[in-house]
Amino acid sequence: MNSEELQKLLEAGKIASKARDYAKKFLKAGMPVIDVANKVEEKIFGLGGKPSFPVCTSINENAAHCSYWDDKLKLKQGDLIKIDTGAHIDGWIADCAFSYSIGKNEENETLIKASENALNAAIKIAKPKTEVREIGRAVNAEMEKLGVNPIKNLTGHLVQRYKLHGPLSIPSFDNNDKTKLEEDMVIAIEPFATTGTGSVTEIKDFHIFRYIGKGTLRTSRDVLQHVVKEYYTLPFSRKWLLNKFGNLKTTIFLQQGVANKLLESYGPLKVISGHKAAQTEHTIIVKEKPIITTK
């Protein structure tokens, strides 16, 4: 990692963390969930970055990948919302998340605390030569202290240029993976806590898509050109295309893109048992003293 790359990573982290903290100021009951995402995304642009993926606003048992495109869903008292956001500078990515209780709620607060404690414990050992199983063990130990479970099939991940999810997973339990972290790896650690079963399933109502980096279409070429130019291989939201191209053109493009395997699709991930989930996340550069880019 050269100095220019490091500076872009740090700047992306600064933008993502400011956008995250901005969200904490306006969350309240009655607010349309789409407005939450829109305001955070606008903040990222205003700070000179671009979203590295759509802001995800996942509520209660919906753990991840919710990117709504209408204003029907509103926050209500007792909700536990996860705000997962990120920014990039020239493809160098920062990824972070926090959970927020709409009003006081003991279950929500316990889950939030468990997720935060687990992340802090994991970051302390995110050093060269640490086996990823050790991070998972540290996460799980913190969860157990508060009587909750990690979501085992949601993991942290390696972060690479224009690639949000690289080929390394960071578990939330000891999965016996002895892969060792290396100096200057960029990783996102994101423990999810639940009182439920500790696993999620995908709802086939796709909110988020990603161009795989190759292929073309006979129709909808203008939409594809826009996706490649604006997002390249980073995830994008159905909402973003609806705003520019309208419902019919967007729907045709997404259907054809998935059918022709140009696009990957991602639906909301729901806790199978129906219990609430909390998430906390930072992006870290692996060092003897780990660097938190999204602090």
Contacts for 69 with CB less than 8 Å, ≥ 6 apart: 34, 207, 237, 238, 239, 242
- The CA-atom distances, in angstroms, between 5 and each of 8, 89, 192 are 5, 10, 29
Catalytic annotation present for 157: yes
Catalytic annotation present for 281: yes
Set 79, 116, 134, 281: catalytic member: 281
Distance CA 129, CA 6 (A): 21
Catalytic annotation present for 11: no
In this structure, what are the phi and psi dihedrals at residue 284, rounded to the nearest 5 degrees?
-130, 140
Set 61, 79, 84, 116: catalytic member: 84
Strand runs labelled E in 7-142: 50-51, 56-59, 62-64, 80-89, 92-101
Catalytic annotation present for 230: no
Set 11, 61, 116, 157: catalytic member: 157
Give the three-class secondary structure for 292: strand
Set 79, 88, 190, 275: catalytic member: 190
Set 42, 165, 202, 264: catalytic member: 165
Give the single-character DSSP code of 110.
H
Half-sphere exposure of 17 (CA within 13 A, CB side): 14
Catalytic annotation present for 88: no
Query: Of 7, 18, 2, nearest to 294 (Cα)?
Result: 18
Catalytic annotation present for 190: yes
Which positions are catalytic?
A: 84, 95, 157, 165, 190, 281
